[in-house]
Amino acid sequence: MGTAGAEGKADAEGKDGCGQGAAARAAHPRDAGGELSRGQVVAMLGDLRRTLRERYGTADEARFDAGRSDEARRRALVVPVRFHVLAAGRAGRLSRAAVRSQIATLNAAYSGRTGGADTGVRFRLAGYDVTNKAAWFSHPRKYQGVIKRKLRRGGRGTLNLYTAAVGSDVLGFSTFPQWYRRSPRMDGVVIDYRSLPHGSYRRFNRGYTAVHEIGHWLGLLHTFQGGCTPPGDGVSDTPYEASPAQGCPDYKDSCPQRGDDPVHNFMNYGFDSCMREFTPGQGRRIRAAWAAYRAAGHGHGRGRARERGSVDRGTGGAGAARSVGGAR
């Protein structure tokens, strides 16, 4: 559960909005924008229900998911990724091989190969570019407006993923799909380049900062959103959690509601070695949010033409700041 934004890590080992020290992620939210208020969460979940009802005749995510066609069920939703590498000379200059490794990590996590549910989402590298600009590289949050106006490509269904030196208390930040209509140019995800697979941020170098932040971009909140107070993250199979996971606990049950804390969930704040799963309910939330906000042809009018770069739900191939996801 959380806000798409920056998420922080506590010590110099690396940040995704969650700290790299044992307690860092709890002490410093992953999202730069901080946690969403209960009012914001209620409004976002309500907007999702209204949009689903208007477009598909039901506000129930499970009913919407069950009503998808057999063809849509068979095919993965493939998201095109425009990967923008920000650098300062040699610093931060990621190779194509490093970028492909991150894409492979995304596909493993979202397909359930690391454990947990298959969300039905896959990722395809659609573009790779390197921009050598020291100020952008060193201060991506300060310059994110100009960075995104200059580099962003595609429509609401294209993921623009940027890497830079995000900082020591934050490893990444993201926007939520609900925000696209208001600020389409700000849509996207920014992560620290040291958090990629085999990066230099010990404990946070398996590529899961991107997995987490993209979860926000796809519509997921932190599992600890709102603590033990409803509606939490609004997903029925992620138990309530009073506070983020710290380090890699074997077990935690911090709320009176039924269920142990989801300490291994990708939308929590544990070490990368502790993260391994999404739930079936999170998969349904992603597919519902995609249909509501990022599917091809989405717009204020039902007959609106498809946007370039968008991907319809259930299709197999690719043709979408403060973030709700919160920073790591």
End-to-end CA distance of the chain: 12
pLDDT one digit per residue (tens) for the chain, 328 residues: 334 444 544 332 333 333 333 222 233 335 554 578 999 999 999 999 999 999 999 999 999 999 887 777 778 899 999 999 999 999 999 999 999 999 999 999 999 999 999 999 999 999 999 999 999 999 999 999 999 999 999 999 999 999 999 986 789 999 999 999 999 999 999 999 999 999 999 999 999 999 999 999 999 999 999 999 999 999 999 999 999 999 999 899 999 999 999 999 999 999 999 999 999 999 999 999 999 999 986 554 333 333 333 332 222 232 223 233 444 5
Looking at the domain assignment, is residue 305 inside a domain?
A: no
213 is catalytic: yes
Nearest residue to 121 via CA among 304, 323, 285:
285
Compute the distance between CA of residue 5 and CA of residue 77 in angstroms, rounded to an integer: 24
Looking at the domain assignment, is residue 307 inside a domain?
A: no
Looking at the domain assignment, is residue 14 inside a domain?
A: no
The strand ranges marked E within 107-169 are 121-132, 159-164
Compute the distance between CA of residue 298 and CA of residue 291 in angstroms, rounded to an integer: 8
Compute the distance between CA of residue 267 and CA of residue 174 in angstroms, rounded to an integer: 13
Looking at the domain assignment, is residue 190 inside a domain?
A: yes
Looking at the domain assignment, is residue 69 inside a domain?
A: no
What is the CATH number for 131?
3.40.390.10
Looking at the domain assignment, is residue 262 inside a domain?
A: yes
The two beta strands, 159-164 and 77-87, are parallel
Total domain count, the chain: 1
Looking at the domain assignment, is residue 61 inside a domain?
A: no
Which pLDDT belongs to residue 151?
98
Looking at the domain assignment, is residue 8 inside a domain?
A: no
- Residue span of the structural domain in which 242 resides: 24-41+75-294
| DSSP states along 245-290 | --S--S----SSSSS---TTBTTS-S-GGG--B--HHHHHHHHHHI
Q: Of the listed 7, 13, 61, 213, which one is catalytic? A: 213
What the block records as the tokens of 28 is 């410093």
H/E stretch holding 173: strand 172-174
Instruction: Kindly give the interhelix angle for 96-110 and 208-217, rounded to the nearest 10 degrees.
Output: 60
> What's 305's DSSP letter?
P
Does residue 121 sit in helix, strand or coil?
A: strand
**pTM score:** 0.84
Please list the alpha-helical segments (H only) found in the chain.
24-27, 38-56, 61-66, 70-74, 96-110, 134-138, 144-151, 208-217, 280-289
